[in-house]
Amino acid sequence: MNFLRLEFDIQHHLVMSRKKEYDHALIRFILSTLAEPEEIASFSKKNLKIRNGILTVYLKRKLFPIDKETFELISSIEKERPFELREEEMDEIVSRYSPRDKKYTARGLRKAMIRFLKDASLFELDFEKLDIEKLRHFMEDFNPLYSGAWLDEDGLTEFVLNYSVVNKIDDPMKIAEETALDIDFVSEVIRTGRSLLSYTGAKNLSFEDE
């Protein structure tokens, strides 16, 4: 699958889910920690810790870093076990924010994120063999959730351009309504920019196109 389209699919879940805080927290948790559905369901907020200055979460398989915004968002949820859901319920939430031409499950989104990290880093990752310090450095270097790059102005600019190409929509008002992004921002992006996907022909690729 084209790397740019893979990144768009993942970012799509992140941007679109901001409309609902709980759903956004679940999607961030998957993307930040690579947690599997059974780990998500059994997760307790008591497993969120700051260890030697590192924000961490203990999952069934190991200790894993978590980005600051996701840590704070999940900490603010009232329930001690915030994601005590069946896998089918997680899948329903994830698919709600998937691109129109490709519906993801919770496991599928996790798989996409692992693929993205491998492609971005050029490494074949074996997460089980990395200690918490190396994992933290790796995620800070290659996972855009840790830097905030997918939701900053540059990241949202690229998202709007890609959203326009993938969905064949060039009406700023319609894009703003669907994405809940500011209409003035969207209008300026559409007027002045052009998506890299329009050059690569990646708009029609889905995650399973290998």
Q: Are 18 and 180 in contact (CB under 8 A)?
A: yes
pTM for this structure?
0.90
- The whole-angstrom separation of Cα 195 and Cα 163 is 9
Exposed e or buried b per residue across 121-147, where buried means at least 16 C-beta atoms within 10 angstroms of its C-beta: eeeeeeeeebeeeebbebbeebbbbbe
* pLDDT tens for each residue of 138-184: 999 999 999 999 999 999 999 999 999 999 999 999 999 999 999 99
* pLDDT tens for each residue of 79-116: 999 999 999 999 999 999 999 999 999 999 999 999 99
Q: Estimate to the nearest angstrom the gap between the alpha carbon of 203 and the chain centroid.
A: 19
Q: Residues near 104 by Cβ (< 8 Å), separated by ≥ 6?
A: 9, 13, 94, 95, 98, 112, 207
Domain boundaries in the chain?
3-147, 153-204
